[in-house]
A and B are shown apart, each in its own frame.
Chain A
């Protein structure tokens, strides 16, 4: 085992600065040749002034595990983003401030004008359902509605996202109701939340026959 207190390697594979060894050189060479372990107190690689115990002035590759003993908590005043590992094994940051960088999720507003009165049956967002989950979180329609077939009818509006032919679609309607002014061009404003499937799971449809009862139970919880 050999111990140095400081080592700096400003150019790859070339030693320029080495302090604090007092062993005779020949003995040192022998020790080096026999050594199985080596230790330093501070090391710079491609830098002569390491700011940390180890500073690598370039890239780093770890072929084994990485354990970090101390990781500080993120504080309120910190500006931070998540880190991920990509398919090439590189560690990268999710840089949301970069408009072409990935985010943890996306909020996308769809403004759909001039549908068939208030009725949007199948609006194709073209977002690939294999890679993303899309959820409608809120929606509103901006034109006055009248009940179309019978004045005593009731209308419960809905907006929902569904998958057809591999892409996410949106359906939105006030059933049994339509624009009071049939010449008015109405607008649906639908806010959606889009998650990458790297982060979320789409668990499909659970059918629950209620057997003409008002209370019931799901067969199994999907997530336990």
Chain B
């Protein structure tokens, strides 16, 4: 009887009562709820608007959620110094002893399933590719600088497809590759648009972005 009464009171208390402070794993709670240990929330997590990062929070770190932890969802902190691959990786390349001006296909070996590789900071250092006469004008050929995917890996092409450096001349290429981790960045499908001979027009579609 006494047990039932106690249970009734306990239910009543847990149903309707509120404590000022609750400690879990501690007898000395330092906040309204103090969990001295780990916490797992299975479903939605909502908190009052988090205060903004300000100028005084210079050394802040991004928070990440790990989806291959056990159980999934461990909150971790992203410190690029402790990672081999950061969300954005910037790598300078220098190409020397090139066959004339032609880098036809260089396998950069970055896995296209994991990364998006963009090219920036292009510099051409060395002898000039000579124009060639065509009728009463001159051709400057087709100079191409691009990264592309082949057999699941990123490749690089830098060359003038139509013209060549004169034999005996030489040049070097400098580029910066920007390697984006696809865990954070998305490579959208290309958008192809036919401008019908006009120099202005509108993209055939708008990418699905947020």
Q: Do A and B come from one complex?
A: yes
A91 engages B45 (CB within 8 Å): yes
- Taking A54-B39, A72-B76 as contacts, is the C-beta distance between A115 and B45 under 8 angstroms? no
- Contact at A76–B180, with CB atoms within 8 Å? no
Complex partner residue of A55 from B9, B14, B42, B207, CB under 8 angstroms:
B42
Expressed in whole angstroms, the Cα–Cα distance for A47 and B43 within the complex equals: 13
Using A81-B67, A137-B178 as known contacts, say yes or no to A111 and B39 having CB atoms under 8 A apart: no
Residue interface mask A4-20, B partner, CB < 8 A = 1: 00000100011100100
The majority secondary structure among interface residues of chain B is mixed
B100 within 8 Å of A by Cβ? Answer: no
Interface string of A41-82 (1 = CB under 8 A from B): 111001100111111111111111111100111111111111
Does B107 interact with chain A (Cβ within 8 Å)?
Answer: no
Name the A residues within 8 Å of B137 (CB-CB): 146-148, 150-151
Pair A80/B67 contact, Cβ less than 8 Å: yes
List B contacts of A90 (CB < 8 A): 44-46
- Tell me, in angstroms, the Cα distance from A46 to B43 when the chains sit together: 11
**A36 x B21 contact (CB < 8 A):** yes
Cβ-based interface call for B199 (8 A): yes
B134 proximity list for chain A (CB < 8 A): 146, 180
Q: How far is the CB of B16 from chain A (nearest CB, A)?
A: 9
**Chain B residues within 8 Å of chain A by Cβ, number:** 112
For window 125-175 of A, CB contacts with B under 8 Å fall at 125-127, 132, 137-138, 140-148, 150-152, 155, 157, 174
Q: Is the CB of A55 within 8 A of B39?
A: yes
Question: In the docked arrangement, what's the CA distance between A66 and B208, Å?
Answer: 34
Chain B nearest CB, measured from A198 CB (Å): 9
Given the known A-B contacts A59-B41, A106-B207, A145-B141, are A78 and B200 also in contact in the complex, defined by CB atoms under 8 Å?
no
Q: Report Cα–Cα, A76/B79, bound state, in Å.
A: 11
A106 touches B120 (CB 8 A): no
Establish whether residues A194 and B207, one from each chain, have CB atoms under 8 Å apart when the complex forms.
Answer: yes
| B23 lies within 8 A of chain A by Cβ | yes
| Interface pick from A116-124, A204-212, A213-221 | A116-124
Compute how far the CA of A155 lies from the CA of B198 in the bound complex, rounded to whole angstroms.
21
A222 within 8 A of B: no
Residue of A nearest to B195 (CB): A115
Chain B residues contacting A15 (CB-CB under 8 Å) are 7, 10-11, 14
Asked if B192 lies at the interface with its beta carbon under 8 angstroms from chain A, I say yes
Contact present for B23 and A38 (CB under 8 Å): yes
Structural contact, A104 and B185, CB atoms closer than 8 A: yes
Complex contact A39–B201 (CB within 8 A) = no
Please report the C-alpha to C-alpha distance between residue A106 and residue B40 in the assembled complex, in whole angstroms.
32
> Closest chain B residue to A58 by CB distance?
B43
Q: Which residues of B contact A26 (CB under 8 A)?
A: 2, 6
Kindly identify which residue among B67, B122, B198, B206 contacts A126, using a CB–CB cutoff of 8 Å.
Answer: B206
Contact indicator per residue, chain B 166-200, by CB within 8 Å of chain A (1) or not (0) = 00000000000010101111111011111111111
Residues of B whose CB lies within 8 Å of any CB of A are 2-3, 5-7, 9-11, 13-15, 17, 19-29, 31-32, 35-50, 62-69, 71, 74-79, 82-85, 87, 116, 118-120, 122, 131, 133-147, 161-162, 178, 180, 182-188, 190-203, 206-210
- Interface of A toward B, CB cutoff 8 Å: 1, 3, 9, 13-15, 18, 25-26, 28-29, 32-33, 35-43, 46-47, 50-68, 71-83, 85, 88-91, 93-94, 96-97, 99-116, 119-127, 132, 137-138, 140-148, 150-152, 155, 157, 174, 177, 180, 189, 191, 193-194, 196
